């Protein structure tokens, strides 16, 4: 839920008229700093679509956690390495290693696996991919399923075709013994394109269907998400099939699937809606102690029934039960006074509670609220912004970069700004790509490099970023980082104007002064080419 909208960095309007032709692009281009726009925080409450909990299920085999360790420590007395497993699961890594290592040396497969995972993650021992793989290979030789899965994932992550082939062979052989887990992993790796040059949805789905046929709930959820259009294959979207697989997982007791199905029956495809059944499924999830059901019901009351008070009541129930997204929604309504009396103190209280629960969005909202005060506590705002950024929120990373540029922390820190812009840019966040390009173009904190600036502006422009689109126009007009192309510059500037860049019109006027009639005609053709779907270059 993007309640905040950053004011992207742009450049002085007076300079835009001359930079393209003066040959001074980059060394006279000042950077404006921005802060979070507080008036939009919690004030713009968008209608919610069907609730999706799939990203929070942590069922992905590539999520950074070990799928085989989910039951670590359970039935600890049943196996020789059980006590080591129990200590590892409790975070007592050194003790776990002390117990597991002698068992691994005499060939215990569970202890061998644990030593492999410890080396892979660097918990209790040195982090070493080679040592981890060595232990896993010993486990594979004994037919240890978890070792097979972990070794396959490491091999796939190398990016080497030979390793990918070995991983595929391991998993396909294991699928004969364990069609549920092996099929689930194979499905995901094919859909993500990690076995092939490009994603192979057909093969991936076939594996998930095999795993689902033997009762694998995560595979059912994957199929539901796939047909729900969440995996990047819009042509395969089929709401009815999505509901079918959500229903299959729900019937096996998966509460997240119950909520996903109920939400779609309430707020999804109009042809498939069924209020009675939708509410029944969500009620089952709530009865099974999944408070996210209140979030789904709140979204239904807000988006479909247009009953804001009823929506607030559901979000409040979810918040009281510790459901973070419900806390955020209730806080938004307190901040704006929708469905309840306006109460900034209660909004802040809920946001702080959500932040303590690990919500990066809550940290971001708190930073914005602080910065909007008449005399903001910059240190407190910085702490919240840093927390959100460290949790991987690209928006916060970009704003933190701007924060460092602003000098509000005691002085401009270009190195820190570059680092945070870079992290957000790697996440394909267009404003950060634009900001990073600006620093490369200007030579601020890094050597001036028009080629790098051009690449970064292009990435942002391809996502519709207006400032970046106009920046591409300027660079093409000046021949900076690329061959001079006034026709392309005019076309890009026109697109930038259509995207809302306020400086585009002045730039276009300057370019048209030196374009011949023939060139202007060519520029219009270039505009048609770009609008036909070809990326600006």
CATH number of the domain within which 487 lies: 1.25.40.10
Do 107 and 250 share a domain, yes or no?
yes
pLDDT tens figures, 70-94? 444 344 455 688 899 999 989 999 9
Q: Enter the pTM of the model.
A: 0.78
Do 67 and 216 share a domain, yes or no?
yes
Residue showing tokens 């030979």: 162
The SS3 call for residue 267 is helix
Min mean pLDDT across 35-49, 197-211, 479-493 is at 35-49
Q: Which of 341, 349, 339 is nearest to 319 (CA)?
A: 349
Do 506 and 418 share a domain, yes or no?
yes
Q: Which two tokens stand for residue 536?
A: 């600006």
pLDDT for 533: 74
pLDDT tens figures, 89-137? 899 999 999 999 999 999 999 999 999 999 999 999 999 999 999 999 9
Per-residue pLDDT, averaged over 27-33, amounts to 35
Do 410 and 287 share a domain, yes or no?
no
Position 297 in a domain: yes
Position 95 in a domain: yes
Do 413 and 343 share a domain, yes or no?
no
pLDDT for 131: 97
pLDDT for 406: 87
Position 362 in a domain: no
Question: How many structural domains does the chain have?
Answer: 2
HSE-CB at 137 with a 13 A cutoff on CA atoms is 8
Q: What is the DSSP string of 404-465?
A: HHHTTTSS--HHHHHHHHHHHHHTT-HHHHHHHHHHHHHTSSS---HHHHHHHHHHHHTTT-
Rounded Cα distance between 104 and 84, Å, is: 11
Rounded Cα distance between 70 and 57, Å, is: 12
Banded pLDDT at 534 (limits 50, 70, 90): low
Domain that includes residue 71, residue range: 58-347
Do 128 and 232 share a domain, yes or no?
yes
């Amino acid at each position: 839920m993007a309640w905040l909208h950053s004011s992207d960095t742009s450049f002085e309007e007076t300079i835009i008229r001359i930079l393209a032709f003066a040959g001074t692009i980059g060394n006279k281009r000042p950077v404006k700093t921005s802060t979070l726009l507080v008036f939009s925080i919690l004030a713009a409450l968008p209608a919610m679509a069907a609730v999706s909990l799939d990203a929070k299920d942590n069922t992905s085999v590539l999520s950074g956690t070990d799928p085989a360790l989910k039951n670590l420590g359970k039935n600890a007395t049943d196996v020789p390495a059980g006590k080591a497993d129990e200590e590892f699961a409790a975070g007592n890594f050194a003790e776990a290693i002390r117990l597991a290592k002698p068992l691994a040396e005499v060939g215990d497969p569970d202890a061998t696996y644990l030593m492999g995972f410890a080396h892979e993650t660097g918990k209790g021992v040195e982090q070493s991919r080679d040592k981890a793989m060595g232990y896993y290979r010993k486990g594979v030789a004994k037919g240890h399923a978890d070792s097979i899965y972990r070794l396959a994932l490491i091999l796939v992550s190398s990016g080497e075709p030979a390793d990918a082939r070995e991983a595929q062979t391991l998993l396909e052989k294991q699928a004969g013994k364990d069609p549920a887990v092996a099929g689930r992993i194979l499905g995901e790796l094919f859909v993500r394109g990690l076995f092939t040059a490009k994603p192979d949805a057909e093969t991936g789905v076939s594996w998930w269907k095999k795993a689902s046929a033997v009762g694998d709930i995560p595979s059912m959820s994957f199929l539901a998400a796939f047909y729900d259009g969440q995996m990047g294959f819009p042509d395969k979207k089929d709401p009815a099939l999505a509901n079918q697989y959500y229903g299959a997982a729900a019937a096996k007791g998966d509460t997240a699937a119950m909520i996903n199905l109920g939400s779609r029956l309430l707020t999804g495809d109009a042809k498939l809606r069924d209020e009675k059944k939708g509410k029944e499924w969500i009620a089952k999830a709530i009865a099974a102690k999944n408070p996210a059901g209140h979030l789904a019901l709140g979204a239904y009351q807000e988006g479909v029934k247009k009953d804001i008070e009823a929506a607030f009541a559901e979000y409040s129930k979810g918040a009281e039960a510790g459901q973070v997204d419900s806390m955020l929604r209730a806080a938004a309504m307190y901040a704006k006074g929708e469905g309840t009396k306006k109460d900034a103190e209660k909004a802040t209280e809920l946001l702080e509670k959500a932040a303590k629960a690990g919500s990066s969005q809550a940290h971001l909202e708190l930073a914005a609220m602080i910065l909007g005060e008449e005399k903001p506590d910059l240190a407190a705002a910085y702490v919240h912004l840093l927390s959100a950024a460290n949790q991987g929120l690209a928006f916060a990373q970009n704003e933190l970069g701007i924060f460092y540029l602003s000098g509000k922390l005691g002085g401009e820190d270009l190195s820190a700004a570059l680092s945070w812009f870079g992290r957000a840019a790697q996440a394909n966040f267009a404003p950060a790509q634009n900001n990073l390009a600006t620093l490369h173009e200007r030579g601020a904190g890094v050597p001036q490099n028009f080629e790098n600036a051009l690449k970064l502006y292009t990435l942002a422009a391809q996502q519709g970023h207006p400032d970046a689109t106009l920046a591409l126009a300027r660079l093409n007009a000046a021949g900076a980082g690329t061959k001079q192309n006034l026709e392309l510059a005019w076309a890009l500037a026109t697109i930038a104007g259509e995207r809302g860049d306020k400086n585009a019109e002045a730039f276009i006027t300057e370019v048209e002064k030196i374009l011949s009639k023939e060139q202007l005609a060519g520029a219009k053709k270039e505009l048609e080419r770009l609008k036909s779907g070809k990326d600006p270059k």
